[in-house]
Amino acid sequence: MRYYMNYKQFFLGLIALSLVACKKDYHLDKIEGKRLEINDSLVSDEDLDAFIKPFREHVNSDLDSVIAYAVDTYTKNDGDLNTAIGNFLADAVLEQANPIYQSRTGNSINMVLLNHGGIRAIISKGNLTTRTAFEVMPFENTIVVVEMKGKLIKDGLIRYLQKAKRAHPISNLKVVLNDKDSIVETSINGMSIKDEQTYHVATIDYVYYGGDRMHFFKKGDSLHVLEYKLRNALIDKLKKMDTIRPVIDDRFIKIN
């Protein structure tokens, strides 16, 4: 036989326990637990459902509102070293986060690096909604900016991309490999990377703390937390556009 209590019984129990606890001094002796299976056989609480219904309808209305249109279907597997969806996301971070960073520090974001694994769904051809953004970026990742010397970018970040040979989303950075996977060209915003120059690199907190083995970020000089979620940057970018048509380009390529 399965046992369960509804939310009213639960709160009454808490009240009763608190009243008793006021009169006696109790000490924890042991903790026991049992598996309470939740399935369709449990009867829903009509009062609770009625209370939640308007909130649920409001949230679903917001999530399903159309904010843009995609001319094609985009997936993180549609390219070897850079993808249309990855390029779009990295460019969105650069565009949306840069004004925030400038207003707080007086500096500009020089480049962006995100992680390939953070893209969790495709962008399908047709109408795009807020729900689309939650599906593509379901995690509560926050955009951060790290101050990094050019030498650390070359020895850490770019060497990582060279070895990974994976379409991690980048923006404002160019990396060219030859047929032997050796680096033949690197630049930030079209200019050679200088060892002693400080660059402002945007990423997300998950990556900064070593996600996808990107441990080089923590060797940077300073960390700036923008308190701006990656998903929100995507939503804000989509709301500014009527139609999206991202493409695979030459920001990270291999030549023969």
112 falls within a domain:
yes
pLDDT digits (tens, 9 = 90+) for 103-133: 999 999 999 999 999 999 999 999 999 999 9
Identify how many contiguous H helices and E strands the chain contains and give both numbers: 8, 11
Compute the Cα dihedral for 116, 119, 124, 130 and give only its sign: negative
Region at 212 (left for phi over 0; alpha for psi -120 to 50; beta for the rest): left
Domain that holds residue 101: 66-254
Q: Is the pTM of this model over 0.95?
A: no
Number of independent structural domains in the chain: 1
User: Under DSSP, is residue 64 helix (H, G, I), strand (E, B) or coil?
Assistant: coil
89 falls within a domain:
yes
30 falls within a domain:
no
Helix ranges (H only) for 30-187 are: 46-63, 84-105, 130-136, 150-152, 159-164
Q: What does the alpha-carbon distance between residue 234 and residue 113 come to, in Å, rounded to a whole number?
A: 15
pLDDT digits (tens, 9 = 90+) for 210-232: 999 999 999 999 999 999 999 99
Which of 43-57, 75-89, 154-168 is the least confident region? 43-57
Per the prediction, the chain carries an average pLDDT of 88
183 falls within a domain:
yes
218 falls within a domain:
yes
Q: Average pLDDT, stretch 155-160?
A: 98
Rounded to a whole number of angstroms, the CA Rg of the chain reads: 25
Edge-to-edge, what's the strand order for the sheet holding 66-70?
126-129, 66-70, 243-244
Between 20 and 243, the higher pLDDT residue: 243
Amino acid sitting at position 148: M
pLDDT at 65 over 50: yes
32 falls within a domain:
no
243 falls within a domain:
yes
Which residues are registered as beta bridge partners of 74? 123
Helix ranges (H only) for the chain are: 7-21, 46-63, 84-105, 130-136, 150-152, 159-164, 205-208, 230-240
CATH number reported for the structural domain that contains residue 87 in this entry: 3.90.780.10
29 falls within a domain:
no
